[in-house]
Structure 1
Amino acid sequence: MIDMEIKPYERMVYYYETDRMGIVHHSNYIRWFEEARLDWMKQIGWDYKTIEDDNIIIPVLSVSAEYKTMSRYGDNIVIYVKLAEYTGIRIGFSYEVHDKKTGELRCVGTSCHCLLDENNKPVFMRKRYPEKDAFFKELMKQQAEE
């Protein structure tokens, strides 16, 4: 049983992220997913700096977003990140973007990644990072039971 509180990622919508209509340009949600994912990884003790120092890269295999309602300049948003897929080679995340004040759902999305070594070969988590492999497997099991 994993007994760790992973906090959602919070941020304000900046003016430069909006378009001429005063709403957030759709491409920014993908950037926010990345910000939230990096924060999630840091909270579990596995930040990108450490991973990259270990000569591992985590390229994006796919990303999707479904826009529900508009975010505007000055809004405060909360992004909930969950581990959505884990195979030991691939790792996927789901995202929910909510307005902090109203709780209204703004966007949902997913991203899928793989881990590659310095030769662009797949990294097998159970060999390279056995403690994170066990953590991710347990987290997937725990989420399935919720």
Structure 2
Amino acid sequence: MYPGYLRKPHYYETDQMGIIHHSNYIRWFEEARVDLLEWLKLPYQVIEEAGIIIPVLAVSCTYKGMVHYGDKVKINVFVENYTGTRFEFRYELVNLTTNQVATTGTSSHCFLSKEHQRLISLKKKFPEFHEIFENYVNL
């Protein structure tokens, strides 16, 4: 199982109170998503070289607690739904300094042909990629 993405907030990500600005969490979700794909041995570079792009269709973020400069966080990423053409991630950001869930979120994506900008099925066009996602979802 994916061990999670560890991160230390940077000073420039804070507001005047030393609290992480809300806009950074969506970026952190993306960093964690990219890290998960690398952990699965299917980094974005490999996906894009195959002619696939993965646009964000929707994203949500719920703030439950604050993260301050100097805290350490772990972002757990879960693949909630995978159909072969679309997939959804769920994020849980844990402040390791307080051991509290500070933020949760989701993002929805699809697989498009880079050349034609049309929806593609990994199961049909890229069965080796499909198998990686299927195996991970079924863990």
* Structure 1 and Structure 2 fold alike (TM over 0.5): yes
- What amino acid does structure 2 have at the position aligned with 1:16? Y
Measured after TM superposition, the shift of residue 128 of structure 1 is 2.1
Match of 1:19? 15
- Percent identity between the two aligned chains: 45
Measured after TM superposition, the shift of residue 129 of structure 1 is 2.1
Q: Distance in 1 between matches of 2:101 and 2:92?
A: 7
Q: Distance in 2 between matches of 1:17 and 1:9?
A: 18
Match of 1:125? 122
TM-score, length of structure 2 as denominator length: 0.93
Runs of 4+ residues deviating >6 angstroms: none
Q: Distance in 1 between matches of 2:66 and 2:98?
A: 13
- Tell me, what secondary structure is at the counterpart of 1:62? strand
Change (3 A) 1:49 1:32: same
Bigger drift between 29-38 and 94-103 goes to: 94-103
Bigger drift between 108-117 and 48-57 goes to: 48-57
Measured after TM superposition, the shift of residue 53 of structure 1 is 1.2
- Tell me, what secondary structure is at the counterpart of 2:20? coil
- Tell me, what secondary structure is at the counterpart of 1:39? helix
Q: Render the CA deviation track for 1:72-114: whole Å, top value 9, x for unaligned.
A: 1111100000001111110110000001233211100000000
Q: Distance in 1 between matches of 2:58 and 2:110?
A: 10
Bigger drift between 101-110 and 27-36 goes to: 101-110
Measured after TM superposition, the shift of residue 71 of structure 1 is 0.4
1:83-102 to structure 2, matched below 5 A, reads 83-102=79-98
CA RMSD in angstroms comes to 1.3
On the 8 A contact 2:88/2:106 being kept in 1, the answer is: yes
- Tell me, what secondary structure is at the counterpart of 2:52? coil
1:1-146 to structure 2, matched below 5 A, reads 5-117=1-113, 118-142=115-139
TM-score, length of structure 1 as denominator length: 0.89
- Tell me, what secondary structure is at the counterpart of 1:82? strand
Q: Render the CA deviation track for 1:23-81: whole Å, top value 9, x for unaligned.
A: 11111000000000000000001100111111211000000000000001111100000
